[in-house]
Amino acid sequence: MSERLARDERRKDFLWWTKISSRWADCDAYGHVNNATYYSWFDTALTLLAIERGILRAPGQTSIGLCISSECEFLAPVGFPETVDIGIRLGRLGNSSITYELAIFGEAADRASAVCKFTHVYVDADTRAKVSLTEGQRSAMRDLVRL
């Protein structure tokens, strides 16, 4: 997924994990989870990671990450009831941006049901001017970079 989203992502390729359970309300008229819900799940997983790693809501934090691009490929349906695993890795840890690569897996599946890429650029919370990631932010995320 580093340049283009890959259709054959496997569990072993991701480095941080969380679980999310589908709800009846997540399903559309076709009986599977609606595409907009996948983005909500990806955003929830990404926010949990950022809070856990201290790059969101850190004391004295003056920068915020804004999503400047995202893309998703839907590879297999997810239904209700189902619990999915969401894996995250970093495709790129830049000077002022982070590209996150995420995938949704059914609990017993080795192949992804959906793959997604988000790029966040860090800006000053007040002025919205682009800023460099702090060394603390970089070190908190460095182990998630896919080599």
Count up the domains in the chain and report the number. 1
Q: What is the pLDDT of residues 70-113, one digit of tens each?
A: 999 999 999 999 999 999 999 999 999 999 999 999 988 999 99
The pLDDT confidence band at residue 3, using thresholds 50, 70 and 90, is low
**Structural domain for 133, as ranges:** 11-144
Q: Is residue 85 part of a domain?
A: yes
CATH number for the domain that contains residue 109: 3.10.129.10
Q: Is residue 59 part of a domain?
A: yes
Q: Is residue 2 part of a domain?
A: no
Q: Is residue 65 part of a domain?
A: yes
Write the DSSP assignment of the chain as a string of letters: --SS--S--BGGG--EEEEEE--GGGB-TTSSB-HHHHHHHHHHHHHHHHHHTTSSS-TT--EEEEEEEEEEEE-S---SS-EEEEEEEEEEE-SSEEEEEEEEEETT-SB-SEEEEEEEEEEETTT--B-PPPHHHHHHHGGGB--
Q: Is residue 130 part of a domain?
A: yes
Specify the pTM. Answer: 0.91
Q: Is residue 3 part of a domain?
A: no
Q: Is residue 5 part of a domain?
A: no
